[in-house]
Amino acid sequence: MKEIILAKYGEIALKGDNRNSFEDMLVKNIKRRLKKIGRFEYSRRQSTIYIEPLEDVDIDTAVKCLKSVFGIGAIQRCAVFEKNFDTVAQNAGEYLRPALSSAKTFKVEAKRSDKSFPLKSPDIQQKLGDVVLDNFPHLGVDVHNPEVTVRLEIRDNGAYLSAERIIGAGGLPVGSSGKALLMLSGGIDSPVAGYMMAKRGLVVDCIHYVSPPYTSDRARMKVEALCEKMTEFCGNTIFYCVPFTEIQEAIRDNCPEEYFTVIMRRLMVKIANKICDRYGYGGIITGESLAQVASQTLQALKCTNAAAEYPVFRPVIGMDKIEITEIARKIDTYETSILPYEDCCTVFSPKHPKTRPSLEEILKAESSFDFDKMVDEAIEKTEVKRFRYGEKTVFID
Ligand code: ATP
Ligand code: MG
């Protein structure tokens, strides 16, 4: 029996004239994901990508990989038959056995997009329901809350029978919205922010600021490990590691303590601006959440924004820590994020940060020192590393 995977569109199905480019991007991303698993043929029709194995492949693994590809609304593995109800009926028992033998209830859903098929959808449902009950007499029908939904779709090029539909990652294909730079710390919030913006179709590359010797190699490794984990959803990613010690020391030595954190954040953003200019990123992403800490109040965010020359995306701004943590667990970054290595944000952090700084105060506090040269030097000394989907290179405990 021939089994194939259908990847059904999520939001792409709502696109108009430019839909083709989204589809192209999605197919490209899927091909990259499945390359290591085997050879497949890809075609697309009716808001669906047909993924047909050309050799003996592990379909379970393929389905698992597809679950983290943005742009897919649902994944369905199906047996394909000629469009003849008797053929489907003859094979249904065997194909559905793994899904139905230990289930208690089921229902059948039929869809007939090929209107020349002689049976209408309600008739297909009725007849296929009978076939299922003949094969699995222990089952009960439950149309509201079935354990298994058996689906038969009569499409242009065949009859597709399935008992498994998995919700996809949703969103838009990575790359379809351009690329942005994620300010990635070692905390819980910023990897979640990156995940959320990749879901909106952005390629997400990461920038991280380190302050040795105040921050350790382990702290940096932890962030690299997060970067590596993010490739699961974001695909290949570039990691920019910026030396930040001198800038932080200059802030410490030249600016009033209560403004340290906001000034530091503004300098991080100024460096990010220049990396965006140089490499063509169209936006900056952060893991800031309103009022979580002193540097994330409305007034502090105004000061940070004033340093930005690109749109700043803060997808977790309206979420509380519990909600953010839930996503971090789902994307498997949480356990790495809570490893106890220091971030440069905590270096020289003031005892009493000003929670409502005005931009005028901040600009005045910064004016006692010319940071521009240091910003340029930090960029010149930035290390660049690439992380590829599916490759494990960072080991940390
Ligand atoms: P997170 O959990 O993401 O670390 P947080 O709640 O600890 O966030 P802050 O430490 O105030 O918050 O950082 C706010 C945001 O600033 C982070 O989400 C991240 O986007 C950015 N950021 C902080 N430290 C760094 C760093 N060392 N390198 C890059 N970005 C950073
Ligand atoms: Mg942090």
Query: Which atom of ligand 1 sits closest to the CA of residue 265?
Result: 16
Residues 193-234 pLDDT 10s: 999 999 999 999 999 999 999 999 999 999 999 999 999 999
DSSP string spanning 111-164?
EESSTTSSS-HHHHHHHHHHHHHHH-TT-EE-SSS-SEEEEEEEETTEEEEEEE
pLDDT of 344 higher than 80: no
- Whether the per-residue pLDDT at 390 is higher than 90: the answer is no
User: Which residues have a Cβ under 8 Å from the Cβ of 241 and sit 6 or more positions away?
Assistant: 208, 210, 220, 382, 383, 384, 385
The torsion angle over the Cα atoms of residues 215, 283, 332 and 173, rounded to 10 degrees, is -150
Phi, psi of 178 (to 5 degrees): 100, -160
Q: How far from chain centre, in Å, is Cα 94?
A: 36
Higher pLDDT, 13 or 316: 316
Count of other CB atoms within 10 angstroms of residue 208: 26
Q: How do residues 61-112 score in pLDDT, each as one tens digit?
A: 999 999 999 999 999 999 999 999 999 999 999 999 999 999 999 999 999 9
Question: What number of CA atoms fall less than 13 Å from residue 326's CA on the CB side?
Answer: 6
Strand duo 40-45 + 48-53: pairing: antiparallel
Q: Return d(Cα 131, Cα 125) in angstroms, integer.
A: 10
Of all residues in the chain, the percent with pLDDT exceeding 90 is 86
Query: How far is residue 258 CA from its own chain's centroid?
Result: 36
* pLDDT confidence of residue 341: 83
Q: Kindly state the average pLDDT of the residues 247-260.
A: 93
Point out the ligand nearest to the CA of residue 188. 1
Indicate if ligand 1 lies below 6 Å from the C-beta of 208: yes
Residue 20: other Cβ atoms inside 10 A: 11
Mean pLDDT, all residues of the chain: 94
Claim: this prediction has a pTM higher than 0.95? no
Q: Where are the alpha helices (DSSP H) in the chain?
A: 19-34, 59-66, 85-100, 121-135, 189-199, 217-234, 245-254, 260-279, 298-307, 321-330, 334-337, 359-366, 372-380
pLDDT in tens, 123-157: 999 999 999 999 999 999 999 999 999 999 998 88
Instruction: Kindly report the backbone phi and psi dihedral angles of residue 112, in degrees, each rounded to the nearest multiple of 5, phi listed first.
Output: -125, 95
Q: Which atom of ligand 1 is nearest to the CA of 286?
A: 20
- Identify the helix (H) or strand (E) that includes residue 81: strand 72-81
What percent of the chain has a predicted confidence (pLDDT) above 70? 100
Q: Could you tell me if the CB of 107 is within 6 A of ligand 1?
A: no
Note the pLDDT of residue 65. 95
**pLDDT at res. 296:** 87
Q: Within a 13 Å sphere around the CA of 106, how many CA atoms are in the beta-carbon half?
A: 29
pLDDT level of residue 20 (50, 70, 90 thresholds): very high
Please tell me the number of the ligand nearest to residue 344's CA. 1
Give the per-residue pLDDT at 278. 97
Are 284 and 269 in contact, with CB atoms under 8 Å apart? yes
| Sheet of 312-313, strands arranged across | 312-313, 284-285, 178-183, 202-210, 237-243, 383-387
Q: Are 232 and 389 in contact (CB under 8 A)?
A: yes
pLDDT for residue 366 is more than 80: yes
Half-sphere exposure of 112 (CA within 13 A, CB side): 14
Output the six-digit token pair for 74. Answer: 């649902």
Q: How far apart are CA 397 and CA 393, in angstroms?
A: 13
**Coil/strand/helix, residue 148:** strand
pLDDT for 156 equals 85
Ligand nearest to the CA of 290: 1
Any residues with CB less than 8 A from the CB of 377 and at least 6 apart, and which?
246
Q: How far is the CA of 287 from the centre of ligand 1 (A)?
A: 6
Confidence label for 391 from pLDDT (cuts 50, 70 and 90):
confident
Can you tell me the mean pLDDT for 311-333? 97
DSSP letter at 231? Answer: H
Please, what are the domains in the chain? 3-167 (3.30.2130.30), 179-387 (3.40.50.620)
What per-residue confidence (pLDDT) applies to 394? 85
Q: What one-character DSSP code corresponds to residue 200? A: B
Integer Cα distance of 237 and 361 in angstroms: 37
Interior angle at CA 30, CA 171 and CA 323, nearest 5: 35
Give, using CA atoms, the residue closest to atom 17 of ligand 1: 287
Residue 188: pLDDT above 90?
A: yes
pLDDT value at residue 397: 73
DSSP secondary structure letter of residue 83: S
Cα-to-centroid distance, 263 and ligand 1 (Å): 14
Cα–Cα distance, 369 to 8 (Å, whole number): 56
Q: How far is the CA of 304 from the centre of ligand 2 (A)?
A: 15
pLDDT reading at 192 higher than 90: yes
295 CB less than 6 Å from ligand 1?
Answer: yes
Q: Check if 135 has its Cβ closer than 6 Å to any atom of ligand 1.
A: no
Cα of 136 to ligand 2 centre, how many Å?
55
Ligand 1 atom nearest to 293, measured from its CA: 11
The pick from 182, 189, 242 for probing ligand 1's pocket by mutation, whose C-beta has the most ligand atoms within 8 angstroms, reads 189
pLDDT at 325 over 90: yes
Q: Tens digit of pLDDT for each residue in 262-312?
A: 999 999 999 999 999 999 999 999 999 998 877 889 999 999 999 999 999
Residue 343 CA: nearest ligand 1 atom is: 27
